[in-house]
Structure 1
Amino acid sequence: MLQPEQSWSWLAVAIGVLLAAKPSAGRDLFGSRPSILLLMADDLGIGDVGCYGNTTIRTPNIDRLAEDGVVLRQHLAAASVCTPSRAAFLTGRYPLRSGMVSSNGYRVLQWTGVSGGLPANETTFAKILKDKGYATGLIGKWHLGLNCESPSDHCHHPLKHGFDHFYGTPLSLMGDCARWELSEKRAALERPLRLGARAFAAAAAALALAAGRLGGLTARSWAPAAWAAAAAAAGLGAASRCLGALIVHADCLLMRNRSVAQQPMRFQRTAALMLREVSAFVRRNKQGPFLLFVSFLHVHTPLITTENFRGRSRHGLYGDNVEEMDWMVGQILDTLDAEGLANSTLVYFTSDHGGSLEAQFENHQYGGWNGIYKGGKGMGGWEGGIRVPGIFRWPGVLPAGRVVHEPTSLMDVFPTVVQLGGGQVPQDRVIDGRDLLPLLLGTVQHSEQEFLMHYCEQSLHAARWHQRDRGAVWKVHYVTPVFHPDGAGACYGRGVCPCSGEKVAHHDPPLLFDLSRDPSEAHALTPDTEPLFHQVMERVARAVEDHRRTLSPVLLQLDTPDNTWKPWLQPCCGPFPFCWCDREADPG
């Protein structure tokens, strides 16, 4: 009689054979297609979670997922900031391929009222699964664009990219939403308005003076006109500040499908509203199958945290926010349990990129911890910006407690869920993701990702080579940010580290690390310390050239023309700019 371990081994082999036979084998083997629940945190550091080594922030629900499922220890985002990372996740393609990058430093979509966004010709996993009969929903953050030419064309809307239902924010959270910190975005908007007001004042005063003198008026006669011009300028300056605040506050909105539901968001209710929506979607579609992408607003600044969780953690408001998000994960898992869906639902948890080291205000740290890994959000190549949690749970199918140390990517989710849902990976374009199911099951021991490229905007900052026959993971850095102050490990006072210009260092020869021996990237290898130095450099250089030959020029969606605020594209539920409404009943 087979022992339990042997039985599982034979089952895994059988699954692997069936999966290799045809793409729909997963569906045939398990009798019906699974429902799929994707959970993505925002700006969460890999070191913030208990199952990845944190001992001071309580994350029991995420840890429970890890205990019951498979943990990926080298799971990597395709970009170290929100918009391009999420585009890559949904499409299985490097963001450079879809144009979801910029060439001028605007690395994410800045406003709701811009014309840039995920192009209509990109195919998301939601679109494929919808075509295969899945009910598809997105609850939470989108940040991949909304409109193109009019406030109602919704050309980039989630409903145009395969989702049947959307409830959340089309942009992202930002400091302006809570008016709790200085905002570069608000300042950038107000500055030209103030300059315009001053120019108007100067012109009006000059005209008043000229008219007075040409008309032969005395100083007493034209002085009131000059004072009126000065008063008008002061009024315009004050109005510019008010208008700037109103506009950025209008970006902090909730939408239900195509309509504005709440503007601005009422943060003490946001978590409860999101959970109510998740529960309603699951119950409405419990006959399955469904695909639900829960894209948390936690733990991005301004760290919206309800009173129930404030002051509970040992790490201030950031720790409170992480613990509230973990509680939300638990509530969602409880909903699956209550509806009897746990065993028929594949659950995945991750973050869009690493924690933000520069998120500081008044000497308080409001960003995440990236554990032993160097760098953080915004740094294109360093591990701290791109290594993220990756947990898969599917009771009775995936082995509980399995840990995988192989390199994997958020882009791998695309082919994995597409094939589980009975779909076909598109053949008319390059797909950079690889099906993870054999690796998760244990039917193969190595990831299909031999090389991974790490971009910062258009610039290739680093490349990774998984040399399977040696068990090595080589990392080659071509460009790294210049930390400020020197040696600080981040770019404090600069928002996030830049991708190009004077604030980055170009390395010739490139920096080389072996992550299998030095995951912290603390000791760069040299020809004197690594006999394979030149061999590795040559092999990675060939892989980079092979990769570049697969790239095609596309319109960059995050460049200035498409990433500049256009008032006529701004969603507003009142007379602009007084966008103020609340159409959401208090959740019970």
Structure 2
Amino acid sequence: MLPCSLAILLFALSGTLAQDCPAQQRPPQQEPAEGLPNIVIVYADDLGYGDLSIYNPQAAYQTPRLDQMASEGVRFLDAHSPSTICSPSRYGLFSGQLVCRTGRRSTAFEGPGGPSYLAPGQLTLAQMLKRVGYRTGVFGKWHLGLTWYDKEGKRLGGGFENALLIDYQKSTPLEDGPNHRGFDESFVTPNCPTTDPLYVYLENGMVREPASQRHRRENLPNPGGKWRWDNDEGWMAPNYRFVDADLLFYDRTALFIRDHRERFSDQPFFAVLSTQISHAPVLPAEEFRGVTGAGPRGDFVRELDTLVGRLLDLLDELQIDRETLVVFNSDNGPETVHTDWMREDHEHDASGGFRGMKRDGWEGGHRVPLIVRWPGRIPAGRVTRQLANTTDLFATVASIVGYPLSDDDAVDSYDLLPAMLGTRSDDQPIRPYMLTQSFRGEFQLRQGPWKYLDHPGSGGNNYDRGMLKKYALPETAPGATGQLFHLGRDAGETQNLFFAEADKRKEMQALLKRLVGSEGRTAPRDRHPIGINHLQQGETP
């Protein structure tokens, strides 16, 4: 794995290198182990640490089904997204590593933007599971970048108007869509489903209907007179659905699971439900409007909660509840405008008391809910303070299914299975450190209770003006080029110890330089999976 500081120099060659080299280092196709669980990941969008009532007793609404899921599984209190914006975090989920490893800048794709962050030849979570016999599907928001061509065969860049230049015959099947990255079935949108054009549906690498109509936001409802905020007027396909986007994505997920049980019952399945909720614009489906008394966003989150409940009910109906691992996670902290409005209108803190929000390197930008449920395997009602990252889902799943990861795979992924099972106590850290990246790609480093931000300020939002100005805190270390906090004593990141704890700061700066540069990884080498065959019902390894 190239260090982040060198990877960008070789990015132009990455397609060739990725196709030729990593495949030769992969383990051969394995025989499926007996009793492998089905795996479902529900990946929420812009859902903050304080947006679920199980995490936030002062929440302005209740999330009963997710609270129930937590009571039946394990809840992580110190879990983080790899980035504070959408696309790089999705890369972290499917690759097990930070976006800096690609050598590309941190961005959220718009229009026909791409190519995919997932390079050819890079092992993805779905590809790994296919190797051990899984059938795989992804439904909802993709947003990892895609390659589109015009009529001359030239690759198009981002930008809303470029959507009109797409030659769909030349572009499809999409060469770097989900079906070329390990998924057998896919029904996704290229970007944020209701925010960023191109507004089309991609089904198994094909565009169902090209974008031929101009979307006008005035055609959508505007709950509360303001919650339609951040709905861009780009190009869309006929019959594209905005208001009930997540009902559609859930229905496609449920269809995949039902079809799998009817036609492929001898295989385990892997399904990802990648939701729009609670990204802008806030457009709860009709059946959820007004149900919480906490405004449109409260209703929106209740919609997500209900869909998770329907998913759990489906697993129970199909009698596969106890053989299915379900993960709930979010891609970053809550949107700035949403956070402010919910605080002002409903005394609800989507950041859960932490400083910052989406795009920021402070905790509110990347500390997120993480709940995992596997009846009969994961003890019910577990709560852990083990440091965790979305990237860790890769190595954890590999550990469950017995897949031996090479040192070149998922280089920022740790096996959290012992934390889920309770076989490793919180005072025995699984992760000695963790990296995250803010909106501009700048780094934050955790080491125990210590947190170093390799930048001044938020790393994302501007707190000098506008609605965020009231949330600005005094600078306690004027002139510092970075920030150092002790979260055990200062969870709100209020006292910058950059100068006061110079030795610790220098130690963490040196560690950051090594992890980003010469080591090019944060995960340990020579990882060994536990394997389902060593994890019998009612037993722990």
Query: Do both share a fold (TM > 0.5)?
Result: yes
From 329, 341, 350, the equivalent of 1:369 is 350
CA shift, 1:158, in A, is 0.5
CA shift, 1:456, in A, is 2.9
Find the counterpart in structure 2 of residue 80 from structure 1.
84
- Where do residues 5-154 of structure 1 align in structure 2 (5 Å cutoff)? 32-54=35-57, 55-102=59-106, 107-112=107-112, 114-148=114-148, 149=155, 150-154=170-174
Deviates more, 1:433-442 or 1:535-544: 535-544
- Measure, in 1, the Cα distance between the counterparts of 2:368 and 2:341: 28
The 3 A distance-change label for structure 1 pair 452 and 65 is same
Q: What letter corresponds to residue 369 of structure 1 in structure 2?
A: A
- Measure, in 1, the Cα distance between the counterparts of 2:462 and 2:325: 42
1:160 aligns with 2:180: yes
Deviates more, 1:408-417 or 1:165-174: 165-174
Tell me the secondary structure at the aligned position of residue 71 of structure 1.
Answer: strand
Find the counterpart in structure 2 of residue 261 from structure 1.
208
- Deviation track 1:171-201 (CA, whole Å, cap 9, x = no partner) reads 113446xxxxxxxxxxxxxxxxxxxxxxxxx
1:382 aligns with 2:377: no
The 3 A distance-change label for structure 1 pair 485 and 108 is closer
Find the counterpart in structure 2 of residue 456 from structure 1.
438
Find the counterpart in structure 1 of residue 260 from structure 2.
285
Q: What letter corresponds to residue 48 of structure 2 in structure 1?
A: G
CA shift, 1:167, in A, is 1.0
CA contact (8 A) 2:194 2:280 kept: yes
Tell me the secondary structure at the aligned position of residue 407 of structure 2.
Answer: coil
The 3 A distance-change label for structure 1 pair 546 and 117 is closer
Q: What letter corresponds to residue 540 of structure 1 in structure 2?
A: M
Deviates more, 1:412-421 or 1:267-276: 267-276
Deviates more, 1:348-357 or 1:53-62: 53-62
Find the counterpart in structure 2 of residue 419 from structure 1.
399
Q: What letter corresponds to residue 443 of structure 1 in structure 2?
A: T
- Measure, in 2, the Cα distance between the counterparts of 1:506 and 1:423: 49
CA shift, 1:453, in A, is 1.9
Find the counterpart in structure 2 of residue 312 from structure 1.
291
- Measure, in 1, the Cα distance between the counterparts of 2:332 and 2:486: 22
Instruction: Give TM-score, length-normalised by structure 2.
Output: 0.73
Tell me the secondary structure at the aligned position of residue 285 of structure 1.
Answer: helix
- Measure, in 2, the Cα distance between the counterparts of 1:308 and 1:174: 19
The 3 A distance-change label for structure 1 pair 44 and 32 is same
- Measure, in 2, the Cα distance between the counterparts of 1:441 and 1:260: 42
For these two proteins, the number of residue pairs brought into alignment is 427
CA shift, 1:154, in A, is 1.3
Runs of 5+ unmatched residues, structure 2: 1-31, 149-154, 156-169, 210-236, 522-541
Find the counterpart in structure 1 of residue 454 from structure 2.
478
Find the counterpart in structure 1 of residue 167 from structure 2.
none
From 320, 324, 327, the equivalent of 1:345 is 324
Tell me the secondary structure at the aligned position of residue 479 of structure 1.
Answer: coil
- Measure, in 1, the Cα distance between the counterparts of 2:518 and 2:332: 25
Q: What letter corresponds to residue 170 of structure 1 in structure 2?
A: P
Tell me the secondary structure at the aligned position of residue 445 of structure 2.
Answer: strand
Tell me the secondary structure at the aligned position of residue 118 of structure 2.
Answer: coil
Runs of 5+ unmatched residues, structure 1: 1-26, 177-247, 467-472, 498-504, 554-588
Tell me the secondary structure at the aligned position of residue 47 of structure 1.
Answer: coil
The 3 A distance-change label for structure 1 pair 462 and 48 is same
1:169 aligns with 2:189: yes
- Measure, in 2, the Cα distance between the counterparts of 1:549 and 1:65: 40
Find the counterpart in structure 2 of residue 328 from structure 1.
307
Q: What letter corresponds to residue 374 of structure 1 in structure 2?
A: R
Q: What letter corresponds to residue 160 of structure 1 in structure 2?
A: H
- Measure, in 2, the Cα distance between the counterparts of 1:71 and 1:89: 18
- Measure, in 2, the Cα distance between the counterparts of 1:434 and 1:485: 34
Q: What letter corresponds to residue 517 of structure 2 in structure 1?
A: R
Q: What letter corresponds to residue 32 of structure 1 in structure 2?
A: G
- Measure, in 1, the Cα distance between the counterparts of 2:404 and 2:63: 36
Find the counterpart in structure 1 of residue 375 from structure 2.
395
The 3 A distance-change label for structure 1 pair 274 and 427 is same
- Measure, in 1, the Cα distance between the counterparts of 2:82 and 2:518: 17
Q: What letter corresponds to residue 344 of structure 1 in structure 2?
A: E
The 3 A distance-change label for structure 1 pair 128 and 358 is same
CA shift, 1:143, in A, is 0.2
CA shift, 1:420, in A, is 1.5
CA shift, 1:50, in A, is 0.8
Percent identical:
31
CA contact (8 A) 1:138 1:158 kept: yes
CA contact (8 A) 1:357 1:368 kept: no
CA shift, 1:430, in A, is 6.0
CA shift, 1:62, in A, is 0.6
- Measure, in 2, the Cα distance between the counterparts of 1:132 and 1:157: 22
> Which structure has the larger Rg over C-alpha atoms?
1
1:538 aligns with 2:506: yes
The 3 A distance-change label for structure 1 pair 372 and 359 is closer
- Measure, in 2, the Cα distance between the counterparts of 1:87 and 1:550: 22
Tell me the secondary structure at the aligned position of residue 411 of structure 2.
Answer: coil
Q: What letter corresponds to residue 283 of structure 1 in structure 2?
A: R
Higher relative contact order (CA 8 A, sep 6+): 1
CA contact (8 A) 1:37 1:294 kept: yes
The alignment's C-alpha RMSD in Å is 3.0
Q: What letter corresponds to residue 510 of structure 2 in structure 1?
A: R
CA contact (8 A) 1:299 1:318 kept: yes
Tell me the secondary structure at the aligned position of residue 326 of structure 1.
Answer: helix
Deviates more, 1:256-265 or 1:32-41: 256-265
- Deviation track 1:358-400 (CA, whole Å, cap 9, x = no partner) reads 3599999899711111101111x20000000001111111111
CA contact (8 A) 2:340 2:467 kept: no
Tell me the secondary structure at the aligned position of residue 48 of structure 1.
Answer: coil
Find the counterpart in structure 1 of residue 282 from structure 2.
303
CA shift, 1:313, in A, is 2.2
From 404, 411, 424, the equivalent of 1:431 is 411
- Measure, in 2, the Cα distance between the counterparts of 1:128 and 1:541: 34
- Measure, in 2, the Cα distance between the counterparts of 1:160 and 1:327: 32
